[in-house]
Amino acid sequence: MNETAPDGTSALVIAAANAHWELAAFLLDAGADPNAAGQGWPALHQVVRTRNLNIGFFPHPEPTGTLSSMEFARLLLERGADVNARITEPIVDGFRGFWTQQGATPILVAAKGADAAMMRLLAEYGADASLANERGTTPLMAASGVEMFNPNEDSGTNPEALAALEVALELGGDVNAANNDGDTPMHGAAWRGANDIVLRLVAEGAELHVQNNNGYTPLQIANGEEEGRVANINIRPWTVALLQDLLKERGLPWELQRGQERFAFENNEIDTRSPEEIMREYLQQQGLGPTEIEAALAAQRGDR
């Protein structure tokens, strides 16, 4: 029952990776080790990940049986799964491998996937939301958008991410903590382009004008000067507008350097249009048609 594939993967993890929840429960009943992690992560991490695979990669597996993923996760925890176990090797599922998963706990993986329901279940069984991965990223940072590869590719809409952030806040997350790269939750929210998360973090006392180790502020990241891996391809004009407004209200530096103004910012004046109006104009400038524009705006609002 505890034999493994050549790479050390247990049958229990394989069942969880394919959403065969009833089969996985059968394996547990037959004596499978809930904490087996020969390939680098146990079944609990796999359940969390299977619920929140990246958008645009492999199709999500079709669940079999009548047992839900949440029910199986609870069963795992009841059978002794370590709620604070850490990943020792990156999960292999088309993840791109850019996000450093080493050291991540199940609740951190759930936060990255904007899975508030799973975060609450894990917290019920004693998950420690203060535990960071090897890069120093906490669940609160992950929910905000820190270490996200691409907001259009990673799972979780902005409203779902806000719900995950609320759980992390309830569990005592620090809104001004920085990881080993100097990125704070505000940097993550700027990269995600999630204005609701920006405002929620501000309400909790998050700093707006803070530099990461590369010298970038959240405003600069929202403006596309650095997105962590490929500069200047993901620009959030609606978040630039919000951050400039918030910074100016507080007497903090809000102007972009000459040549950095990108969308609708002329003569260093605050654009008074709504973020959606700014985004609509930008998409029109990029040559998108009306149907494509409406679909993009709906996705940004979370109308999926």
**Model confidence at 86: pLDDT above 60:** yes
Mean pLDDT of the region 228-253: 81
Q: Which residues contact 295 (CB under 8 A, 6 or more apart)?
A: none
Cα distances from 192 to residues 7, 52, 247, 262, in angstroms, run 35, 17, 18, 18
Question: For residue 184, which amino acid is it?
Answer: T
| The predicted structure's pLDDT at residue 274 | 60
Mean pLDDT of the region 264-269: 39
Residue 261 DSSP class? -
CATH class of 96-301: mainly alpha
**Burial class of residue 296 in the structure, from the number of CB atoms within 10 Å of its CB (0-12 exposed, 13-18 middle, 19+ buried):** middle
**Model confidence at 100: pLDDT above 60:** no
Q: Which residues contact 277 (CB under 8 A, 6 or more apart)?
A: none
Report pTM: 0.81
Lowest mean pLDDT among 15-29, 173-187, 219-233: 219-233
pLDDT > 90 in the chain, percent: 61
Mean pLDDT of the region 185-203: 96
| The predicted structure's pLDDT at residue 285 | 67
Lowest mean pLDDT among 74-83, 108-117, 273-282: 273-282
Dihedral, 152, 163, 96, 109 alpha carbons, nearest 10 = 180
| The predicted structure's pLDDT at residue 235 | 82
**Model confidence at 183: pLDDT above 80:** yes
Instruction: Delimit the domains of the chain by residue range.
Output: 96-301
Residue in the structure block whose two tokens are 């910012």:
265
**Model confidence at 99: pLDDT above 90:** no
| The predicted structure's pLDDT at residue 32 | 94
